[in-house]
Amino acid sequence: MILKRLVVFVAAAALGCIPARVVRADDLQSVLRQLDAAAATFHTTTADFEFDSIETDPIPDKDVQKGVVYYERTGRNFQMGVHINEVNGRPVPKVVVLSGGVVKLYEALPNQVTTLTKLGQYEQWFMLGFGASGKDLEAKWNIQYLGKETIDGIRTDKLEMVPKDPNIRKNLPKVTLWLDSVRGVSVQQDFDEGQGQSRLCHYFNIKVNASLPSEAFKFKTDSKTQFVTR
């Protein structure tokens, strides 16, 4: 599966409690409206990434994937291309493409394409912070504002997201986003998958509404490529 992660706003007590909550609510609405404005002009995003898959239970483990990701949104149509160049410091080329609600994984070393039929329903996970409007987020997530935080010199708004759909919540209890709200892009995402597993996604060299390469949502196959459906 994919992605997820944490943080709960705990009110203090008595006099300081109500003002703090009002400010947080106002800040959240301000962020969501900024995302509405950014989504209206959002077309593409390109970014380098590092995805850290972290397991704390039963045995601590960590996998690190690096590469380039592309996003494109035209109206209600959304595409994503994740080009993984290395895994744990070794060259392991892979491409994940989400297009038309279908997710395909191309692995160069075994020369195999796997169509993941059950992942298309989680499209909202993939577009978190990349083209989604504030209204899109409000419709599917319970959102809590956690304040501002600077990452890579970028002032971000930190949000805690809990899926409203209980079926999705079983696999993804919580997501924490660090958003560049003005541009409408995520600088960092932490997906809490529960049971001691999480995925931290860090994006840098982010370019918004730049031209995308022709291979952004493609991968090359040949006569020896195996095709699998799961």
pLDDT tier at 125 (50, 70, 90 boundaries)?
Answer: low
Residue 17 reports pLDDT greater than 50:
no
Residue 207: Cβ-neighbour burial (10 angstroms; 0-12, 13-18, 19+): middle
- Tens of pLDDT, residue by residue over 61-100, are 999 999 999 999 887 788 999 999 999 999 999 999 998 8
The b-or-e profile of 51-85 (16+ CB within 10 A means b, else e) is bebbeeeeeeeeeebbbbbbbbbeeeebbbbbbbe
Please tell me the predicted confidence (pLDDT) of residue 11: 22
Please tell me the predicted confidence (pLDDT) of residue 14: 24
As a whole number, the mean pLDDT across the chain is 84
- Tens of pLDDT, residue by residue over 196-217, are 899 999 999 999 999 999 999 9
The 102-107 sheet, strands edge to edge: 141-151, 154-163, 174-180, 185-194, 197-208, 44-55, 61-74, 77-87, 90-99, 102-107, 112-116, 226-229
Residue 180 reports pLDDT greater than 70:
yes
Torsion-angle region of 30 (φ positive above 0: left; ψ -120 to 50: alpha; else: beta) = alpha
Strands 112-116 and 61-74: unpaired
Please tell me the predicted confidence (pLDDT) of residue 86: 96
Nearest C-alpha neighbor of 60 from the set 192, 199, 196: 196
Stretch 97-121: mean pLDDT: 87
pLDDT tier at 120 (50, 70, 90 boundaries)?
Answer: low
Domains of the chain (ranges, CATH numbers): 42-229 (2.50.20.10)
In angstroms, the CA 147 to CA 155 distance is 10
Stretch 12-28: mean pLDDT: 46
Q: Copy the structure tokens of residue 212.
A: 């995308």
pLDDT tier at 119 (50, 70, 90 boundaries)?
Answer: low
Q: Residue 30: which H helix or E strand, with range? A: helix 14-41
Residue 188 reports pLDDT greater than 60:
yes
Please tell me the predicted confidence (pLDDT) of residue 101: 81
Stretch 23-27: mean pLDDT: 70
Residue 163 reports pLDDT greater than 50:
yes
Of all residues in the chain, the percent with pLDDT exceeding 90 is: 63
Nearest C-alpha neighbor of 132 from the set 73, 192, 70: 73
Please tell me the predicted confidence (pLDDT) of residue 126: 67
